[in-house]
Amino acid sequence: MRYLLFFFIFFYSCVNNIDKKTILRGDIYGTTYSIVYFSKVDLQLKVKIDSIFNSIDMSMSTYNSNSLVTKINNNKEVLLDDHFKYVFNTSKKIYYETSGDFDPSIGPLVNSLDFGPQTNNISTDSLMKLVGLDKFKIFQNKLQRPLNSFLDFNAIAKGYSVDMISEFLTFNNITNFLVEVGGEIRSSGLNLGDDRNWRVGLDTPTFDGLQNEIYKAFNLIDKSMATSGVYRKFKIDSLGNKYAHIIDPKTGYSSKTNILSITVIADNCIEADAYATALHLMTLDEINLFVQENDKISVFIIFKDENNKIQDLSLNNFPSI
Protein backbone atom coordinates (compact mmCIF):
# COMPACT_ATOMS: atom_id res chain seq x y z
CA MET A 1 0.00 0.00 0.00
CA ARG A 2 2.92 2.31 0.86
CA TYR A 3 4.46 1.72 -2.58
CA LEU A 4 1.12 2.35 -4.27
CA LEU A 5 0.77 5.66 -2.39
CA PHE A 6 4.32 6.63 -3.37
CA PHE A 7 3.57 5.82 -7.02
CA PHE A 8 0.37 7.92 -6.94
CA ILE A 9 2.18 10.93 -5.46
CA PHE A 10 5.02 10.57 -7.98
CA PHE A 11 2.58 10.21 -10.89
CA TYR A 12 0.47 13.18 -9.74
CA SER A 13 3.54 15.42 -9.34
CA CYS A 14 4.76 14.51 -12.85
CA VAL A 15 1.39 15.22 -14.41
CA ASN A 16 1.08 18.47 -12.46
CA ASN A 17 4.57 19.49 -13.63
CA ILE A 18 3.55 19.57 -17.30
CA ASP A 19 3.33 23.02 -18.87
CA LYS A 20 -0.18 23.65 -20.10
CA LYS A 21 -0.88 25.71 -23.18
CA THR A 22 -3.22 28.70 -22.86
CA ILE A 23 -4.50 30.74 -25.81
CA LEU A 24 -6.21 34.08 -25.32
CA ARG A 25 -7.76 35.96 -28.25
CA GLY A 26 -9.91 39.03 -28.59
CA ASP A 27 -10.51 42.43 -30.13
CA ILE A 28 -8.64 45.54 -29.05
CA TYR A 29 -7.64 48.93 -30.48
CA GLY A 30 -9.63 48.34 -33.67
CA THR A 31 -7.69 45.14 -34.35
CA THR A 32 -7.20 41.72 -32.74
CA TYR A 33 -4.80 40.17 -30.27
CA SER A 34 -3.52 36.65 -29.70
CA ILE A 35 -1.56 35.50 -26.66
CA VAL A 36 -0.13 32.01 -26.31
CA TYR A 37 1.72 30.94 -23.18
CA PHE A 38 2.70 27.83 -21.25
CA SER A 39 2.32 27.48 -17.50
CA LYS A 40 2.27 24.63 -15.01
CA VAL A 41 -0.77 26.09 -13.27
CA ASP A 42 -3.93 27.72 -14.54
CA LEU A 43 -3.28 31.35 -13.66
CA GLN A 44 -6.52 32.81 -15.07
CA LEU A 45 -4.77 35.89 -16.43
CA LYS A 46 -7.33 37.12 -18.95
CA VAL A 47 -9.05 39.60 -16.64
CA LYS A 48 -5.74 41.17 -15.65
CA ILE A 49 -4.53 41.25 -19.27
CA ASP A 50 -7.76 42.94 -20.35
CA SER A 51 -7.19 45.46 -17.57
CA ILE A 52 -3.73 46.28 -18.97
CA PHE A 53 -5.15 46.74 -22.45
CA ASN A 54 -7.87 49.01 -21.08
CA SER A 55 -5.47 51.14 -19.05
CA ILE A 56 -3.34 51.73 -22.16
CA ASP A 57 -6.48 52.56 -24.13
CA MET A 58 -7.53 55.08 -21.48
CA SER A 59 -4.13 56.69 -21.71
CA MET A 60 -3.44 57.05 -25.42
CA SER A 61 -6.34 56.05 -27.66
CA THR A 62 -7.38 58.90 -29.94
CA TYR A 63 -10.65 56.99 -30.54
CA ASN A 64 -11.55 56.99 -26.84
CA SER A 65 -13.34 60.23 -25.95
CA ASN A 66 -12.34 59.85 -22.29
CA SER A 67 -8.67 58.98 -22.82
CA LEU A 68 -5.81 61.08 -21.54
CA VAL A 69 -4.50 61.89 -25.02
CA THR A 70 -7.98 62.92 -26.21
CA LYS A 71 -8.27 65.38 -23.33
CA ILE A 72 -4.83 66.74 -24.21
CA ASN A 73 -5.78 67.03 -27.88
CA ASN A 74 -8.86 68.97 -26.77
CA ASN A 75 -6.54 71.49 -25.07
CA LYS A 76 -7.35 70.33 -21.55
CA GLU A 77 -4.62 70.44 -18.91
CA VAL A 78 -4.26 67.04 -17.26
CA LEU A 79 -1.71 65.13 -15.21
CA LEU A 80 0.17 62.49 -17.19
CA ASP A 81 0.18 58.80 -16.30
CA ASP A 82 3.13 56.41 -16.56
CA HIS A 83 1.92 54.91 -19.86
CA PHE A 84 1.80 58.29 -21.54
CA LYS A 85 5.17 59.45 -20.20
CA TYR A 86 6.97 56.27 -21.25
CA VAL A 87 5.52 56.27 -24.77
CA PHE A 88 6.12 60.01 -25.17
CA ASN A 89 9.76 59.77 -24.05
CA THR A 90 10.41 56.76 -26.28
CA SER A 91 8.78 58.58 -29.19
CA LYS A 92 10.98 61.60 -28.64
CA LYS A 93 14.12 59.46 -28.54
CA ILE A 94 13.26 57.83 -31.86
CA TYR A 95 12.14 61.20 -33.27
CA TYR A 96 15.70 62.49 -32.84
CA GLU A 97 17.33 59.21 -33.93
CA THR A 98 15.38 59.26 -37.21
CA SER A 99 15.82 63.03 -37.79
CA GLY A 100 12.09 63.58 -37.36
CA ASP A 101 10.83 60.75 -39.57
CA PHE A 102 9.01 59.26 -36.59
CA ASP A 103 6.72 61.95 -35.24
CA PRO A 104 3.44 61.31 -33.33
CA SER A 105 2.65 65.03 -33.52
CA ILE A 106 1.48 64.54 -37.13
CA GLY A 107 -2.05 63.98 -35.79
CA PRO A 108 -3.46 67.12 -37.51
CA LEU A 109 -2.14 65.84 -40.84
CA VAL A 110 -3.52 62.34 -40.19
CA ASN A 111 -6.93 63.87 -39.57
CA SER A 112 -6.76 66.14 -42.62
CA LEU A 113 -6.18 63.12 -44.86
CA ASP A 114 -9.07 61.24 -43.20
CA PHE A 115 -6.88 58.59 -41.56
CA GLY A 116 -7.62 59.68 -37.99
CA PRO A 117 -10.54 60.01 -35.56
CA GLN A 118 -11.30 63.59 -36.57
CA THR A 119 -11.51 65.54 -39.80
CA ASN A 120 -10.50 69.08 -40.66
CA ASN A 121 -10.32 71.31 -43.72
CA ILE A 122 -7.32 73.36 -42.62
CA SER A 123 -4.53 73.90 -45.15
CA THR A 124 -1.45 71.70 -44.88
CA ASP A 125 0.80 74.76 -44.46
CA SER A 126 -1.19 75.85 -41.41
CA LEU A 127 -1.19 72.36 -39.92
CA MET A 128 2.57 72.01 -40.36
CA LYS A 129 3.03 74.77 -37.77
CA LEU A 130 1.61 72.36 -35.18
CA VAL A 131 3.89 69.48 -36.16
CA GLY A 132 7.29 68.65 -34.67
CA LEU A 133 7.78 66.64 -31.48
CA ASP A 134 10.60 68.99 -30.48
CA LYS A 135 7.82 71.52 -29.74
CA PHE A 136 6.41 69.22 -27.03
CA LYS A 137 7.89 68.59 -23.59
CA ILE A 138 6.90 67.27 -20.20
CA PHE A 139 7.18 69.73 -17.33
CA GLN A 140 5.97 69.03 -13.79
CA ASN A 141 3.97 66.00 -14.93
CA LYS A 142 2.09 68.01 -17.55
CA LEU A 143 2.55 68.26 -21.30
CA GLN A 144 3.55 71.58 -22.81
CA ARG A 145 2.51 71.75 -26.45
CA PRO A 146 1.30 74.05 -29.22
CA LEU A 147 -2.36 74.99 -28.83
CA ASN A 148 -4.65 72.87 -31.08
CA SER A 149 -1.90 70.36 -31.79
CA PHE A 150 -2.88 66.69 -31.97
CA LEU A 151 -0.82 63.74 -30.74
CA ASP A 152 -1.41 60.35 -32.36
CA PHE A 153 0.44 57.39 -30.84
CA ASN A 154 -1.19 54.76 -33.08
CA ALA A 155 2.17 54.00 -34.74
CA ILE A 156 3.69 52.95 -31.42
CA ALA A 157 0.89 52.06 -28.98
CA LYS A 158 0.37 48.50 -30.24
CA GLY A 159 4.06 47.74 -29.82
CA TYR A 160 3.96 49.24 -26.34
CA SER A 161 0.97 47.08 -25.38
CA VAL A 162 2.83 43.97 -26.60
CA ASP A 163 5.72 44.87 -24.30
CA MET A 164 3.44 45.52 -21.32
CA ILE A 165 1.64 42.18 -21.71
CA SER A 166 4.98 40.40 -22.17
CA GLU A 167 6.41 41.97 -19.02
CA PHE A 168 3.25 41.01 -17.14
CA LEU A 169 3.66 37.37 -18.22
CA THR A 170 7.31 37.41 -17.21
CA PHE A 171 6.36 38.88 -13.81
CA ASN A 172 4.08 35.84 -13.38
CA ASN A 173 7.03 33.50 -14.01
CA ILE A 174 5.90 32.61 -17.54
CA THR A 175 8.95 32.28 -19.77
CA ASN A 176 7.50 30.60 -22.86
CA PHE A 177 5.03 32.82 -24.70
CA LEU A 178 4.13 34.66 -27.89
CA VAL A 179 2.20 37.94 -27.71
CA GLU A 180 0.68 39.46 -30.86
CA VAL A 181 -1.38 42.64 -31.17
CA GLY A 182 -2.42 43.73 -34.65
CA GLY A 183 0.56 42.00 -36.22
CA GLU A 184 3.17 43.30 -33.76
CA ILE A 185 4.83 40.41 -31.93
CA ARG A 186 7.13 39.52 -29.06
CA SER A 187 8.40 36.04 -28.29
CA SER A 188 10.03 34.41 -25.30
CA GLY A 189 11.41 30.92 -24.81
CA LEU A 190 9.96 28.08 -26.85
CA ASN A 191 6.69 26.91 -28.31
CA LEU A 192 6.47 23.91 -26.00
CA GLY A 193 3.51 22.52 -27.90
CA ASP A 194 5.79 21.79 -30.85
CA ASP A 195 8.99 21.75 -28.77
CA ARG A 196 10.71 24.30 -31.02
CA ASN A 197 11.30 28.02 -31.43
CA TRP A 198 8.36 30.32 -32.09
CA ARG A 199 7.78 30.56 -35.83
CA VAL A 200 6.21 33.62 -37.45
CA GLY A 201 5.41 34.67 -41.01
CA LEU A 202 5.30 37.80 -43.13
CA ASP A 203 2.39 38.43 -45.49
CA THR A 204 2.83 38.85 -49.22
CA PRO A 205 1.89 42.52 -49.83
CA THR A 206 -1.36 42.85 -51.79
CA PHE A 207 -3.92 45.66 -52.06
CA ASP A 208 -6.98 43.44 -52.55
CA GLY A 209 -7.78 43.15 -48.85
CA LEU A 210 -7.95 39.34 -49.11
CA GLN A 211 -6.15 36.85 -46.92
CA ASN A 212 -2.50 37.04 -47.85
CA GLU A 213 -0.12 34.20 -48.53
CA ILE A 214 3.01 33.90 -46.41
CA TYR A 215 5.94 35.60 -48.13
CA LYS A 216 8.56 34.55 -45.59
CA ALA A 217 8.56 32.42 -42.43
CA PHE A 218 11.28 32.30 -39.80
CA ASN A 219 12.04 31.70 -36.13
CA LEU A 220 11.61 34.64 -33.76
CA ILE A 221 13.85 33.91 -30.79
CA ASP A 222 13.41 36.12 -27.70
CA LYS A 223 12.83 39.20 -29.85
CA SER A 224 10.12 41.61 -30.93
CA MET A 225 8.87 42.22 -34.46
CA ALA A 226 6.74 44.91 -36.12
CA THR A 227 5.71 45.43 -39.73
CA SER A 228 4.62 48.61 -41.47
CA GLY A 229 3.01 48.23 -44.88
CA VAL A 230 1.42 50.76 -47.22
CA TYR A 231 -0.79 47.97 -48.57
CA ARG A 232 -2.51 47.53 -45.20
CA LYS A 233 -4.17 50.92 -44.90
CA PHE A 234 -4.72 53.40 -47.70
CA LYS A 235 -7.27 55.69 -49.31
CA ILE A 236 -8.31 55.83 -52.97
CA ASP A 237 -9.42 59.14 -54.48
CA SER A 238 -11.95 59.71 -57.27
CA LEU A 239 -9.20 59.21 -59.85
CA GLY A 240 -8.15 55.86 -58.42
CA ASN A 241 -4.91 57.15 -56.84
CA LYS A 242 -3.81 55.33 -53.68
CA TYR A 243 -2.68 57.37 -50.67
CA ALA A 244 -0.71 55.59 -47.97
CA HIS A 245 -1.54 56.09 -44.29
CA ILE A 246 2.14 56.80 -43.57
CA ILE A 247 2.53 60.58 -43.65
CA ASP A 248 5.81 62.42 -44.08
CA PRO A 249 6.15 64.92 -41.18
CA LYS A 250 8.51 67.02 -43.29
CA THR A 251 6.12 67.54 -46.22
CA GLY A 252 2.70 67.00 -44.64
CA TYR A 253 1.61 64.55 -47.31
CA SER A 254 1.27 60.78 -47.66
CA SER A 255 4.49 59.01 -48.48
CA LYS A 256 5.28 58.07 -52.06
CA THR A 257 7.53 55.06 -52.13
CA ASN A 258 8.27 51.81 -53.94
CA ILE A 259 8.55 50.09 -50.56
CA LEU A 260 5.57 47.85 -49.83
CA SER A 261 6.42 46.70 -46.32
CA ILE A 262 9.17 47.00 -43.76
CA THR A 263 9.63 44.54 -40.91
CA VAL A 264 11.87 45.40 -37.97
CA ILE A 265 13.19 43.04 -35.31
CA ALA A 266 14.35 44.61 -32.04
CA ASP A 267 14.67 43.72 -28.37
CA ASN A 268 11.38 45.43 -27.51
CA CYS A 269 8.24 45.92 -29.56
CA ILE A 270 7.67 49.60 -28.90
CA GLU A 271 10.91 50.45 -30.72
CA ALA A 272 10.34 47.89 -33.48
CA ASP A 273 6.91 49.46 -34.08
CA ALA A 274 8.27 53.02 -34.25
CA TYR A 275 11.28 52.15 -36.43
CA ALA A 276 9.10 50.26 -38.90
CA THR A 277 7.03 53.41 -39.43
CA ALA A 278 9.99 55.78 -39.64
CA LEU A 279 12.00 53.66 -42.09
CA HIS A 280 9.07 53.72 -44.50
CA LEU A 281 9.87 57.38 -45.16
CA MET A 282 13.44 56.62 -46.23
CA THR A 283 14.88 55.36 -49.50
CA LEU A 284 16.48 51.93 -49.66
CA ASP A 285 19.94 53.50 -49.50
CA GLU A 286 18.95 55.63 -46.51
CA ILE A 287 17.53 52.58 -44.71
CA ASN A 288 20.72 50.64 -45.40
CA LEU A 289 22.82 53.44 -43.90
CA PHE A 290 20.51 53.82 -40.90
CA VAL A 291 20.65 50.10 -40.09
CA GLN A 292 24.45 50.10 -40.39
CA GLU A 293 24.56 52.88 -37.80
CA ASN A 294 21.91 51.21 -35.60
CA ASP A 295 22.96 47.57 -35.45
CA LYS A 296 20.53 46.81 -32.61
CA ILE A 297 17.79 46.25 -35.18
CA SER A 298 17.36 43.85 -38.13
CA VAL A 299 15.25 44.81 -41.13
CA PHE A 300 13.46 43.03 -43.97
CA ILE A 301 12.08 45.09 -46.87
CA ILE A 302 9.66 44.08 -49.60
CA PHE A 303 9.61 46.55 -52.50
CA LYS A 304 8.93 46.95 -56.21
CA ASP A 305 11.88 47.44 -58.53
CA GLU A 306 12.02 49.65 -61.64
CA ASN A 307 10.27 46.89 -63.60
CA ASN A 308 7.41 46.76 -61.06
CA LYS A 309 8.54 43.32 -59.87
CA ILE A 310 8.43 42.45 -56.17
CA GLN A 311 11.88 42.13 -54.61
CA ASP A 312 13.16 41.93 -51.05
CA LEU A 313 16.18 43.05 -49.07
CA SER A 314 17.45 41.64 -45.79
CA LEU A 315 19.64 43.82 -43.54
CA ASN A 316 21.72 43.19 -40.45
CA ASN A 317 21.27 39.43 -40.13
CA PHE A 318 17.51 39.32 -40.41
CA PRO A 319 16.51 35.67 -39.74
CA SER A 320 16.48 33.37 -42.75
CA ILE A 321 13.73 30.89 -43.56
Q: What is the CATH number of the domain that holds 121?
A: 3.10.520.10
Q: Is residue 67 part of a domain?
A: yes
Quote the CA–CA distance of 317 and 291 in Å, as a whole number.
Answer: 11
- pLDDT score recorded for residue 119: 53
Q: What is the pLDDT of residue 13?
A: 42
What is the pLDDT at residue 3?
46
Backbone angles phi, psi at 143, to 5 degrees: -100, 125
- Assess if residue 2 is contained within a domain: no
Provide the residue-wise pLDDT of the chain in tens; the chain has 321 residues. Answer: 444 444 444 444 444 567 899 999 999 998 999 999 999 888 889 999 999 999 999 999 999 999 999 999 999 999 999 999 999 999 999 999 999 999 999 988 877 665 545 555 566 778 888 999 999 999 999 999 999 999 999 999 999 999 999 999 999 999 999 999 999 999 999 999 989 999 999 988 875 555 568 999 999 999 999 999 876 555 555 545 455 557 888 887 776 788 999 999 999 999 999 999 999 999 999 999 999 999 999 999 999 999 989 999 999 999 986
Tell me the C-alpha to C-alpha distance, in Å, between residue 219 and each of 174, 197, 224, 276.
Answer: 20, 6, 11, 19
pLDDT, position 207: 57
H or E stretch covering 180: strand 177-181
* Residue 9 within any structural domain of the chain: no
> How far apart, in whole angstroms, are the C-alpha atoms of residue 64 and residue 75?
15
Contact call for residues 289 and 312 (beta carbons, < 8 A):
no
Q: Which domain holds residue 190?
A: 41-315
Does some domain include residue 273? yes
**Is 20 domain-assigned?**
no
Domain membership flag for residue 7:
no
CA distances from 240 to 15, 29, 141, 230, 254 (A): 61, 29, 46, 16, 15
| Structure confidence at residue 216 (pLDDT) | 92
> pTM of the prediction?
0.87
**Does residue 161 form part of some domain?**
yes
Provide the number of structural domains found in the chain.
1
